[in-house]
Structure 1
Amino acid sequence: MELHDVWFVLIAVLWTGYFFLEGFDFGVGVLTKLLARNRAEKRVLINTIGPVWDGNEVWLLTAGGATFAAFPEWYATLFSGFYLPLLVILVCLIVRGVAFEYRVKRPEENWQRNWETAIFWTSLIPAFLWGVAFGNIVHGVEIDRDLEYVGSVWDLLNPYALLGGLVTLTLFTFHGTVFTALKTVGEIRERARTLALRVGLVTAVLALAFLLWTQADSGDAKSLVALVVAVAALVAALMANQAGREGWSFALSGVTIVAAVAMLFLTLFPNVMTSTLNADWSLTVTNASSSAYTLKIMTWLAVIATPVVLLYQGWTYWVFRKRIGTQHLADASH
């Protein structure tokens, strides 16, 4: 296996880790409107991800940086062609981070409610747009002989990509719902389990349609295996949720995300962006990659740094592993 193939796999792993971790993160943000009945319950939901949300975004930064260094042509075409949706995602992530920190800086109810509303929208919008973006990457976009995107932003809003956006939105919301059931106690935990069933059923229908479309369009035997794993894991997650096994339900919803993302990258390889104008104009792991020397240096850095990142993130989740409820909140005036 060539180094550019290795880095394609590593970037796929980074995006998978990001969607697994930030997926429930976004889902909890969406639940501040769908599940919480009062401001105390909103605080509980936000506190479940309070210690980890910023660490989850490390995976996005690493995935973007790795793409820039390992596949500069891919990075250039992607970020120029998808400039507007990616800018919207970036603005949402900035506002979201500010909202987490600023909502408790003043005691006024309107101040805190406005920032909590910001958390909802800046969780929902990226959750949808990431699916749109990856739907277009896999399905193909208008790339010319100079490896440049020549379509418009409206071309990105095609039925396949929009369905992908709905899948990521509902799947992340389901992932966040089972995470909430895992991390909370009392009434909010029970309501989270009930909502997880409803959201999970909608997710199953949308995901099955999207993955079957992907398989029919560009799939092979390997992607078919990933499809079966994704669907089976989602069904098992729903069953575990109904049985009150929140840990298993969360793990299986995570497997669903991992298998679904793996399927997308399996159908994409050896391309990194497919041209709908001419297959010969597609960006591949070969024509979009950096030099072998650059990839070699990056590989050594990854070998050294990756275990450190995994260890400190794992430690963070271990420290903040206990369940919380409204009874654990401090005085609401602070």
Structure 2
Amino acid sequence: MTCEYWASSSVNKTIPIKVVSATEDHAIRFHQVHLEDMGRVRTRKICSIDDEVVPQEEIGKGYELTKDELVPVTDEELDEMPLPTAKAIEIVAFVDADSINPIRISDSYYLAIDGQIAAKPYTLLRKALERSDKVAVAKFAWHNRERLGLLRVRDDAIVLHAMRWPDEIRSPDSLKPKDVDLDDEEIERAVQLTDTMALDDISGFRDEYRDALEELIEAKAEGTELPEPAEGEERETGKVVDLMAALNASVKAARESRGEHGDQDATVHTMQPRKKTPAKKKAATARKTTTKTAAGKRTARKTTTKKTAAGKKRSAS
């Protein structure tokens, strides 16, 4: 693959590159098994018309026009489609990094030079990105799709972030909560919490669930006792969490971890619930009365039904 961009001399620059995944998936995966004999349970591809197993070489692609009509599309037809970015990453613009919505960023890849001849243009592009404080927007093909990408520099390497197209991002307007009453003191306490929990480096965080899962699998494989939860790890469920108390505890713990003492500033203002208005109380009482009446009717119907059924049984006997 190549990376193409226009240099200041108005000459098209082409950099031979290799695309290398920038991330690793360390998730622990399980197979489906038959619990009686631990045999693997496999997925079989069955034709919906003749109920026969279909071999891989007979499986193709089809686009559903309607529920009963499919249009077949072959791999050859897809390969012959005009796609300018089929073998290249084409830089189309340079923009400020802050202008990119983080939600649009997807998987990440390192771009490595493919041969020593690419060293100079690769370094030139990297230096230009560093000095301009901008990121490059690019187009490239991936799995028979044209994708939008973002090029930026991390640790002296050019990183390609796959991006979603603008029309693939949903609007959050319908998710916004209704207006609530907040005073400056409440907002200031929330800001105080962010300050006390601030960190300069988050590289020390680990996937504790995966670590515990590895210990569990190792113990079961060796036939030893299963690891017990560490003290304080068991959590009670079914209780309503007091958010303000949790914030107070977080602020206090953060201060103590930094050697700070004293609770005078480690208190989050508690919001007092508003009392119900008489109208609301009336509505609530009416709802309860209606519910009780409906429940009484249902009970009466059940009793009548049971008595009728019992009468029929006695008559039959």
Per the normalisation by structure 1, the TM-score is 0.19
Higher strand share: 2
Per the normalisation by structure 2, the TM-score is 0.20
Radius of gyration: which is bigger?
2
If asked which structure has higher relative contact order (CA below 8 Å, sep 6+), I would say 1
